[in-house]
């Protein structure tokens, strides 16, 4: 059985404290009071309440740590270096449409390095977790990325830009390149779970642009600790700052980098 550190236990406890109310609200989704932040970018009372619960639990356990929050902004760290990066509900649009595919994502960043992460898939009760140097797990089972190395055998996941988001034409170029050589592309609507599924070998790779740090921070360390490779789409290392990401197993990393570069070179 996998042994969780005190740090992972703190993160899991915070996520599980917020989970029951989120699930109750999901089961009564038609009664939720929802406001719009922008075109097709929703925030629910459930989202805000979950963030407050997670923050309170993490503050109680680690009072010197700061926060980077989707709804609440940035809270400076008293120790000057340790920040929780929290997405209380990744997959909000799925949640609000009654689609059971969403997650709580919590990562810990020390300085500029992500050192731990948890992603809780509430409806499936799957906890993906990793700490630097200790491997990646789902519940009590060790995770490894897939071993597929032929693009024709591989299933890739991505996010498709929607109304109000940039990058429609760039995405279509990239999708055309990947569709031509792969076994398929999936779009499930949660970047955190997309990354967790790469770590679990369910997907062979994932790419997306225009993401926020809380969408991907926990997933980055979980994929890396499962033996995967994570970078920007052009191979850089500023995923959190730039918001674009490519995560793959080792066998298709270079082919995916090449395909996405070809798409960029076809820009009109």
Domain limits, CATH 3.30.540.10, in the chain: 6-142
What's the pLDDT score for residue 120? 98
Query: Cβ(114)–Cβ(107) under 8 Å?
Result: yes
Domain limits, CATH 3.40.190.80, in the chain: 151-265
What's the pLDDT score for residue 41? 59
The CATH architecture assigned to 6-142 reads: 2-Layer Sandwich (3.30)
What's the pLDDT score for residue 162? 83
What's the pLDDT score for residue 267? 67
- CATH 3.80.10.10 is right for the domain spanning 151-265: no
Residue 197, CA distances (Å) to 64, 128, 193 in order: 32, 9, 6
- Per-residue model confidence as pLDDT tens for the chain (268 residues): 688 999 999 999 999 999 999 999 998 886 766 776 665 556 778 899 999 999 999 999 999 999 999 888 899 999 999 999 999 999 998 998 889 999 999 999 999 999 999 999 999 999 999 999 999 999 999 999 999 999 999 999 999 888 877 888 888 999 999 999 999 999 999 999 999 999 999 999 999 999 999 999 999 999 999 999 999 999 999 999 999 999 999 999 999 999 999 998 886 5
pTM: 0.94
């Amino acid at each position: 059985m996998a042994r969780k550190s005190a740090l992972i236990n703190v993160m899991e406890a915070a996520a599980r404290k917020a989970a029951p109310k989120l699930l109750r609200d999901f089961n009564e989704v038609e009664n939720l009071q929802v406001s719009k932040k922008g075109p097709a970018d929703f925030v629910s009372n459930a989202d805000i309440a979950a963030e407050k619960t997670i923050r309170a639990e993490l503050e109680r356990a680690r009072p010197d740590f700061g926060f980077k929050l989707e709804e609440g902004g940035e809270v400076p760290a008293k120790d000057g270096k340790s920040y929780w990066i929290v997405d209380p509900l990744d997959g909000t649009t799925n949640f609000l449409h009654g689609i059971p595919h969403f997650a709580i994502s919590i990562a810990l960043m020390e300085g500029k390095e992500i050192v731990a992460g948890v992603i809780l898939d509430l409806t499936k009760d799957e906890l993906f977790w990793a700490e630097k140097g200790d491997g990646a797990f789902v519940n009590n089972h060790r995770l490894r990325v897939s071993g597929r190395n032929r693009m024709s055998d591989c299933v890739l996941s991505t996010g498709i830009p929607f109304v109000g988001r940039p990058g429609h034409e760039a995405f279509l170029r990239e999708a055309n390149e990947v569709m031509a050589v792969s076994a398929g592309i999936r779009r499930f609507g949660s970047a955190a779970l997309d990354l967790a599924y790469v770590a679990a070998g369910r997907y062979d790779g994932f790419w997306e642009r225009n993401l926020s740090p809380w969408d991907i921070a926990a997933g980055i360390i979980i994929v890396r600790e499962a033996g995967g490779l994570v970078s920007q789409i052009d191979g850089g290392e500023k995923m959190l700052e730039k918001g674009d990401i490519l995560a793959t197993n080792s066998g298709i990393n270079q082919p995916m980098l090449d395909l996405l570069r070809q798409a960029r070179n076809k820009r009109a």
